[in-house]
Amino acid sequence: MSEIAIVGAGAWGTALAVQAARAGNDVVLWARSGADAIEASRESPRLPGILLPEPVRVIGDISLLSGMVIAAVPTQSLREVLGALTNVRELVICAKGIEAGTLRLPLEIAAQVLPDTVAAVLTGPNFAHEIASGQPAAAVVASLDQAMREAVMARLATPSFRLYGSDDPVGAQVGGAAKNVIAIAAGAVTGAGLGENARAALITRGLAELARLTVVLGGRAETVMGLSGLGDLLLTCTGPASRNFSLGLALGRGETLTSILAARRAVTEGVATAPALLARAQGVDMPICQAVAGLLDGRTTLREAIGALLARPRRDE
C-alpha cells in the first residue's frame, strides 16, 4: 500500500479518508482538534455514522504529513494550513471558493505558499456522506500537469468513484466557487415559495454567469458544461444536504444571516465567496451573484433582489 495524507477531519476530509482507504491506500488524517478522540472512536463528529476503516490513522501534528497531501479545508483557511505543511511533493486541493482580500483561487494560493509543489484540484458534484457510504459518484481532477492528474486518479478511483482528468484548472475552480453563490440564490427562491419555474430559470441563468466568468479568467466554456460546472451546480442547487442551498432556504423563509451562521458548525463557503467573486469578476455581468452579495450584506431584501432581476432589460438569451 501507498500512503496518502488528508488535511482536515471535517465531513469531506473524513469521506476522502474512507475513499482513499477503499482505493487501497494507507491514510493519515490530520484533525485540527480532537484527533485522539476521533482515533479512539473511529468516527468523526462531522460525519456521524461513518466508521473509519483500519488503514486510516488520525493525528494532530500537521508537520508529520508528507508525500501526496489532500487539503480538505475551507478556502478561507487554506493559506494558513498550507503554510504549516513542510514536506509535500504532490498537493490536491478540495476547497471551492475565492480567498477574501487577495481574491485568489485555491491553486493560486498554493502557488504562492508552496511554489515548488505540483498541485491539482479535486472537484465535482459530491456529497460527503454519499462518497463515504460508497454510493456511485464522479469527480474531476484538474491540473496542468498530466502526470499529476493520472497519479491522483490512480490513487483515489474505485468502481464506485469515477474520476475524470481535466487540463482546465481555472474552469474547474471557477465552477466550484460560483456554484456555491448561485446555490444560495436557489435556496432563497425555494424558501420564499416562488416555485420550481423560478428556481429552474435561476439555475440556468446562473450557469450563464458562471460561463462568462470562466472565460474571462482564462478557463474554457466547455468546462462549464462538465462535472465541475453544471454537475456541481445542479447538485448544490437542488440537494437538501447542500450547506449553501440550505442557507439560502433559511434566508428565503425570513431568518437572518447571523442566526443561521450561529447555528452552524460547518463553513458555508458561498458567504465569503460572493463578494470576492464579484470583485474578481472585473465587470463581468453577474446579476444573480450580485443579488446574493447584496442580500448577504444587508444592502437589499429578497423581494428587492428578485424585483431587480425581473426588471432587467429584455434581450435575446
Domains of the chain, CATH where assigned: 3-167 (3.40.50.720), 170-310 (1.10.1040.10)
Encode pLDDT of 184-194 as tens digits: 999 999 999 99
Q: Looking at residues 189-212, what average pLDDT do you find?
A: 95
Residues 6+ apart with CB under 8 A from 23: 155, 156, 157, 158, 161
Whether the predicted pLDDT of 262 surpasses 80: yes
Mean pLDDT score across all residues of the chain: 95
Q: pLDDT tens digits, residue range 266-276?
A: 899 999 999 99
Kindly report the pTM of this predicted structure: 0.94
Over residues 68-97, the mean pLDDT reads 96
Q: Catalytic: 96? A: no
Q: How many CA atoms lie within 13 A of 32 on its CB side?
A: 14
What is the amino acid identity at position 129? H
In this predicted structure, the answer to whether residue 300 has a pLDDT above a threshold of 60 is: yes
Q: Which of 179, 199, 243, 280 is catalytic?
A: 179
CA dist 64 and 109 (Å) reads 22
> What is residue 1's predicted lDDT score, i.e. its pLDDT?
54
Lay out the sheet containing 26-30: strands in order across: 56-59, 26-30, 3-7, 66-71, 87-93, 118-123, 137-142, 161-166
